[in-house]
Amino acid sequence: MLQISVVVPVFNEEESLAELTQWISRVMNDHGFSYEVIFINDGSTDASWEVINSLVATNPSVKGLNFTRNYGKSAALDAGFNKATGKVVITMDADLQDSPDEIPDLYSMVSEGGFDVVSGWKKKRHDPISKTIPSRFFNAVTRWISGIKLHDFNCGLKAYSNKVVKNIQIYGEMHRYIPLLAKWNGFTKIGEKIVSHQSRKYGYSKFGIERFLNGFLDLISVSFVHRYKKKPMHFFGLLGTLSFFSGFIITCWLIFQKVYGIKMGLPVREITDQPLFFLALVALIIGVQLFVTGFIAELMTSNQSKEAEYKVDEELNFNY
C-alpha cells in the first residue's frame, strides 16, 4: 500500500495543475513518501483534462479521472476516494490556495497520531470580507449542530485514514460535512491543524455567496438523513400519529358538543358549519398521508441500493 494518496477535484484550473503537481512531487520526494496524485476532472470546459493527460504521461505517480459532465465537488471526492490506495488520503483544492507543504504534518497526525480525520484550519485567510464573515457564521452554526469542534469545515485541505474514505459515501453537496459523516460512521478521532492559506494565483473562485445558504440546507439534510435514513417511519409515523390524533380529538369534541347540546335542549350549530370541522378533516387526512409516506419510505429503504451519482468517461494510469 502506498503511504499517501492526494485527491484533487479539478474544475477549470488548467493554469495551476502543472505547478501544483511539481509542488506535490517535490514535497513527497524530499520526505521519501510513496504516493499517488489523483486528479478528478469535474466537467471542466477549459484544457484541464489535456493538462492532466500530459502530467500522467510524464509522471507515473499521477492518475486521472474524467467525468462526463460537471457533477460537483462531492462526486469528485467520492470517485477519488474509491480509487485511492494510500494509507493516508489527503484532499486539497487545485487552485494552489492549499499548500502541499502541509502534507507531511497531516500524514504524521493520521499515521502516527492516531487520528481518523484531520481538518485544516485556515486561521489567516486571503479572502475578501464578503467570504470570511459568512464563513465564520456558517462554521459556528455547524459546530453547534454537529457537536464537532472544528473551526473551518469548508477547508479543502484534510487528511483521512484509508479506512475512513472506504466506509463513507459522499453525495449531493455533503463534502463540507465529511468529518460529520466520519463521526456518524464510528470514526470519532477528529483533529484539526492550522494550515497556511495562499492567495489565489490563477483564475477566479468557482464558489459564490450562495454556497453558504446551500451549506445550511445541506446540514439540515445530512442531519435528517443520518437520523432517519434507516428508520423513516420513526419520523413520518410520529408526525402522522400526532396529526391523526389531533384531528380525531377535535372530531370527538365536535360530536360531544352536538350530542350534549341536543340532549340539553341548547341551540346547536351543524358540525360542518364550524371551522374546527375542516381543521379536524385536514389533520386526519394529513395524518393518514404521513403514515403512508412512512410505510413507502420503509419499503424503499429496505430494498434499494444506492448507485454512484456520477459517470466516469475516461481513466488514466489506474492499474488493477
Higher pLDDT, 115 or 260: 115
pLDDT for residue 202: 66
Question: Do strands 312-316 and 190-194 pair parallel, antiparallel, or not at all (unpaired)?
Answer: unpaired
* pLDDT per position as a tens digit, 267-317: 767 777 788 888 989 999 998 998 888 778 766 765 554 556 677 878 888
pLDDT exceeds 60 at position 320:
no
Pick one of 3.40.190.10, 3.90.550.10, 1.10.357.10, 3.30.1360.180 as the CATH number of 4-229.
Answer: 3.90.550.10
* Four-CA torsion 23, 27, 30, 34, nearest 10 degrees: -110
* pLDDT per position as a tens digit, 95-137: 898 999 999 999 999 999 999 999 999 887 666 665 666 677 7
16 close to 99: Cβ distance less than 8 angstroms: no
* pLDDT per position as a tens digit, 171-227: 777 788 899 889 888 899 999 999 987 766 666 655 555 665 666 667 776 667 666
Residues 61, 74: Cα–Cα separation, whole Å: 23
Percent of the chain with pLDDT over 70: 81
Residues 41, 38: Cα–Cα separation, whole Å: 10
pLDDT for residue 305: 47
Q: Write down the pTM of the prediction.
A: 0.73
Longest dimension (CA), the chain: 98
